Structure 1
């Protein structure tokens, strides 16, 4: 497709974006109409909205964009720039800094029927590799390493000690979680990956709950195989305050409360209630 470039859009601010995984959307009707922005070109940036949308597709191969999935679940997304070496500016900078800027990152795949929504992602890191450009000349290409946000906020590891084990040092866990929240790309020279930072926050939040849902305050509905109460960290302000890592905005919920936030008719209101509750929870620690 002539003129095709890396599709990077910035869209609306909302806790629930309304896009369903696997559903096909019309670019003009479902993106431009509600959110505005430029009607042509690969980058559309409505001024008042905090979202970055990246678009992948087979036709990108014509311009040297060999996007792919890695076995470990990371999506490697080639940056924008059809000819010559790529650099971290414009759309590439928006992707690299989306977490720091408090913007959600959504991936769509361009198909004949329209744009298929894949998932929300988080920038982990990027690397440079030699790859051909549109004119088939080798150049330095930026390859972003992106993780589905579900791998950070939905997959819960057994991070709390099993029953009978020594009580965790909550103060030490909180200190580590707060350090992880500050150690985000662009803020320090030495950074851990977003997965490692999220794990440190998850360790603290699950331990802080002490086996009870921090939403409904009921005991965890069941125990893991090692005797650890099952709770799920929920990121109240996932993409703000430096990314999905700030423990002051992460709450431990039972599966029922977690599904209520994401799928309930009162989900947005309940999330606001949880945000208020977090003020009291964190004040105790």
Structure 2
């Protein structure tokens, strides 16, 4: 599914960096990109050198921001066309390369730029990254202003058909305790007074893990989320694997 950039940006435009953009170190934004730049409150400067400003870079951890300027290009008095707004500084001199497909968009007064070759194809992943980088007050203002029910869309997905005997056996083996070594978190109970635990595959099925008794563990919700999304998830996975293998040896 392609990302619908209209859902996250107030205005945006996409253009491929041309040879002229790069050789002149002066990026010529298209009409939609100019609309985003100017909607963020940045107007073309008449003076040269033009003042610089920071642009938030998306999907490029090595470059969180980049300096840019926005100015009218110089034309001779005899030129028949008006001067064109261009972008200079690091955004074109060092960051963008010829052939890059570049998106420029704004959320309020914050200007964003992204190379689309590095952008995720998931709407959720792209939106989360953009909103995570947005100004804090803008996030609150827009969340508070939102009303109504969310739209629906059909979703088709493939799911693994897990062996129910493995799930049941792992829960029996755990005896109502989280199988992550050293976990001491307080667990809660279901309506039937059984302890709530989630069965996790040590090597996830999505990473070619097997649906086997020795590759499964009963985890509390905290440990389960951490082993999927935590910064130290790989170390936790290995710790869990060693523990389960030793217990089954």
The TM tier, using the shorter chain, reads 0.3 to 0.5
TM-score by length of 1: 0.31
- What TM-score, normalized to structure 2? 0.35
Larger radius of gyration, structure 1 or 2? 2
